[in-house]
Amino acid sequence: MFSKKFFIDNFKTLFYALLIAILIRSIIIQPFYIPSSSMEPNLLVGDRLFVSKYTYGFSKHSFPFSPPFFNGRVLFSEPERGDVIVFKTPADNRTDYIKRLIGLSGDEIQFINGDLFLNGNQIIKKFISSDDEIYCGNNTIRVNTFEEKLPNGKTYRASYRQDYSFQNSDKFIIPENHYFFLGDNRDCSKDSRFLSEVGYVHKDNIVGKAQILFFSSDYKIGSILKFWQWSEILRFKRILKKIN
């Protein structure tokens, strides 16, 4: 027979373990899974990454289920252009999106003839390769790949469709305390260009900064449970890779 003390001690152990896990997930670091191709060629479906929760301070969205403990953001640090950030989409304040930060409060952003302009200046776009193949959902598309350079010196790769690409837009003027995000897979990303679905993201909606890939597998080939196929399924070169 188990004693009452046995159940109490085990309940305490489980409670403290759960509390520590929640604190680590909320304050220090949280794992995320990449479910879509919107950040290709830099992040692939099947990538697992660690997101630091402390980099930009904390809001209610730092905690599981976004409990309304407080409003605003504490210990806030301003994100930098080019950071890859997880945020809660403004449409429902629940769904996690991961995109690249392009515009800060007060910036003006516009696409003109397929080129990205920030505050009236064209973002430097260096040609890398043509006729690359990346995913858009379950389909593959052919793209041209460029290296873009933001005014703060941050560089990253961005892909544009060959057959048709996002060409022109109105000016996006970013409100105070908001940010403008784009996917690196420019023609296969729901991001801040789509005002009714994502739009400008308030600073309180930021969850954290994507820091490092700790694991990656190609689900299109097979399940990681099929250990005899690991040589094909696991992307070994992406494991423990720093996110740019």
pLDDT band at 184 (very low <50, low <70, confident <90, very high): very high
- pLDDT for position 75: 94
- pLDDT for position 226: 81
User: Is 62 designated active site?
Assistant: no
Q: Which domain holds residue 82?
A: 4-242
Number of domains in the chain: 1
- pLDDT for position 8: 72
User: Is 60 designated active site?
Assistant: no
Lowest mean pLDDT among 13-22, 57-66, 100-109: 13-22
Residues 11-19 have a mean pLDDT of 70
Residues 38-55 have a mean pLDDT of 96
pLDDT band at 161 (very low <50, low <70, confident <90, very high): very high
- pLDDT for position 2: 57
Residues 87-116 have a mean pLDDT of 96
pLDDT band at 239 (very low <50, low <70, confident <90, very high): very high
Residues 113-133 have a mean pLDDT of 95
C-alpha closest to that of 48 among 217, 207, 206, 208: 217
- pLDDT for position 174: 98
Quick check: 220 pLDDT over 90?
Answer: no
Quick check: 86 pLDDT over 90?
Answer: yes
Quick check: 7 pLDDT over 80?
Answer: no
pLDDT (tens digit, 9 = 90+) per residue, 47-77?
999 999 999 999 999 888 888 888 899 999 9
Catalytic, out of 38, 59, 62, 189: 38
- pLDDT for position 10: 62
C-alpha closest to that of 114 among 154, 77, 169: 169
Residues 84-107 have a mean pLDDT of 96
Q: pTM for this one?
A: 0.90
Quick check: 1 pLDDT over 70?
Answer: no
- What is the rounded average pLDDT for all residues in the chain? 91
Lowest mean pLDDT among 51-65, 77-91, 109-123: 51-65
Catalytic, out of 99, 159, 192, 216: 99
Quick check: 210 pLDDT over 90?
Answer: yes
- pLDDT for position 16: 65
Here the CATH number for the domain that contains residue 199 is: 2.10.109.10
Contacting residues for 29 by C-beta, under 8 A, at least 6 apart: 50, 51, 52, 53, 211
Residues 107-134 have a mean pLDDT of 95
